[in-house]
């Protein structure tokens, strides 16, 4: 298959922009299906592709550049994947099938995948320029150094990332204020009961939590900041936020394929430009579908890779799943699409061991909420839901 080197522009059967879960999974899938194809993977970051989900879990301890690499360096050469590290694509020429990179390199592609991830959604308020976000390992290293010289931090956003950032800041010994619009912690994932338990845990660990607060503006006062919301002013040294994401618009807007919240594609992950696909957090999905999840990026990367190699797979709404372990307490939430609190459910225990609730539809487990057990237990729950086990039998593994 074609790969012309030696001249400035190289030609590849497949080029993938963005080397995290979606891009790398697509590359693996392409390599399995097209053993002879030439594949270029362009990694915009300054280290080997890594597990992004670890950033909010290792903020307090810190990490080395290769601590959570997805593959070691040898994997790329062993699999004949051309990896361009620390290289950003600046422009895509859809007519010439060419891309132009920040270091001056250019490449011609047969089929292209844009897996450039997300950018943090910034709340449109005065003072938003003072807010810091955490998206890459490099951001996290800079932020960590700043946090080490701070005393007080405000974290805006009570979703899973906000919760994890607040926990890590507290572990660093900071005075932490977790605030935002939501009326409870991790409300997308947890029911009232578990949000309440998580709140008690956070309070007992000394995190200050305030809810239903729309931050109206942020002001800089000398070397500190004031975070204003109705009925509350927080005075802090640093303001962090995790208030949602948008698909990365950078390359897609110029190509005219950006929708409202991400790259527009069909369910084969093909954009309206022939031979250009998109996958992962970059993509705009139908309302109500998951986004911003590691396993979802993996699923899309695999589907895009299959379709680029000539198959015709379609993405569907898949079960959502979240695991997190703030202050050492394990939380797990999983649901098939369309499950809600109105489905038949049983709380199997809510005591010192923790909490287990399983939802059932037509005799099959369709969702579970769990607190306090282990990661291995969550795997049993996940398998049971995939297999559609009756709730009673699934719960019997834990009672």
Ligand X SMILES: Cc1cc2nc3c(=O)[nH]c(=O)nc-3n(C[C@H](O)[C@H](O)[C@H](O)COP(=O)(O)OP(=O)(O)OC[C@H]3O[C@@H](n4cnc5c(N)ncnc54)[C@H](O)[C@@H]3O)c2cc1C
Q: Which residues in this chain contact ligand X in the complex, by CB under 6 A? A: 17-23, 42, 44-45, 52-53, 55-56, 88-89, 115-118, 134-135, 161, 248, 250-251, 280-282, 292-294, 297, 324
Nearer to ligand X, 13 or 298 (CB): 298
* Cβ 153 to ligand X shortest distance, Å: 16
Nearer to ligand X, 37 or 55 (CB): 55
* Cβ 224 to ligand X shortest distance, Å: 25
Structure tokens given for 22: 């979606």
Nearer to ligand X, 117 or 180 (CB): 117
* Cβ 330 to ligand X shortest distance, Å: 12
* Cβ 81 to ligand X shortest distance, Å: 15
Nearer to ligand X, 279 or 395 (CB): 279
**Apex CA 389: angle with CA 385 and CA 392, to 5°?**
110
Output phi, psi for 58, to 5 deg.
Answer: -120, 20
* Cβ 128 to ligand X shortest distance, Å: 18
Nearer to ligand X, 176 or 395 (CB): 176
* Cβ 58 to ligand X shortest distance, Å: 10
Structure tokens given for 254: 């110029």
* Cβ 20 to ligand X shortest distance, Å: 3
For 328, residues 6+ apart whose C-beta sits below 8 A from its C-beta are none
Torsion of CA 86, 92, 98, 99, to 10 degrees: -10
| Parallel/antiparallel/unpaired status of strands 224-229 and 217-221 | antiparallel
Residue with tokens 């990365």: 248
* Cβ 188 to ligand X shortest distance, Å: 12
Structure tokens given for 223: 């070397």
Nearer to ligand X, 250 or 318 (CB): 250
For 346, residues 6+ apart whose C-beta sits below 8 A from its C-beta are 357, 358, 360, 391, 392, 395
**Apex CA 309: angle with CA 305 and CA 312, to 5°?**
80
Nearer to ligand X, 68 or 294 (CB): 294
Nearer to ligand X, 23 or 354 (CB): 23
């Amino acid at each position: 298959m074609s790969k012309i080197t030696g001249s400035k522009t190289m030609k590849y059967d497949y080029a993938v922009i963005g080397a995290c879960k979606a891009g790398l999974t697509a590359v693996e899938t392409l390599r399995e299906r097209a053993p002879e194809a030439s594949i270029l993977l362009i990694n915009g970051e300054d280290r080997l592709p890594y597990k992004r989900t670890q950033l909010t879990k290792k903020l307090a301890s810190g990490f080395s550049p290769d601590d959570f690499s997805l593959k070691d360096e040898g994997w790329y050469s062993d699999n004949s994947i051309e990896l361009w590290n620390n290289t950003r694509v600046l422009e895509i020429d859809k007519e010439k099938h060419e891309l132009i990179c920040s270091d001056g390199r250019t490449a011609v592609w047969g089929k292209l995948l844009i897996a450039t991830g997300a950018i943090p959604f910034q709340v449109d308020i005065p003072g938003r320029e003072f807010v810091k976000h955490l998206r890459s390992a490099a951001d996290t290293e800079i932020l960590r150094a700043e946090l080490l010289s701070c005393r007080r931090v405000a974290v805006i956003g009570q979703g899973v990332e906000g919760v994890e950032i607040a926990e890590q800041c507290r572990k660093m010994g900071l005075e932490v204020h977790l605030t935002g619009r939501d009326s409870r912690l991790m409300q997308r994932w947890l029911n009232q009961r578990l949000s309440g338990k998580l709140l008690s845990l956070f309070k007992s660990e000394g995190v200050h939590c305030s809810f239903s607060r729309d931050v109206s503006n942020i002001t800089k006062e000398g070397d500190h900041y004031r975070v204003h919301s109705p009925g509350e002013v927080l005075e802090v040294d640093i303001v962090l936020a995790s208030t949602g994401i948008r698909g990365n618009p950078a390359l897609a807007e110029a190509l005219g394929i950006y929708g409202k919240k991400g790259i527009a594609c069909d369910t084969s992950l093909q954009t309206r430009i022939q031979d250009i696909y998109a996958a992962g957090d970059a993509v705009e999905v139908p309302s109500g579908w998951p986004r911003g999840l590691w396993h979802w990026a993996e699923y899309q990367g695999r589907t895009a890779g299959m379709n680029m190699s000539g198959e015709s797979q379609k993405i569907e709404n898949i079960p959502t799943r979240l695991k997190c372990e703030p202050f050492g307490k394990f939380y797990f939430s999983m649901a098939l699409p369309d499950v809600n609190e109105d489905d038949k459910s049983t709380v199997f225990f809510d005591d010192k061991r923790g909490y287990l609730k399983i939802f059932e539809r037509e005799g099959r487990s369709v969702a579970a909420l769990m607190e306090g057990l282990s990661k291995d237990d969550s795997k049993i729950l996940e398998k049971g839901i995939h297999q559609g086990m009756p709730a009673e039998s699934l719960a019997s593994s834990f009672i």
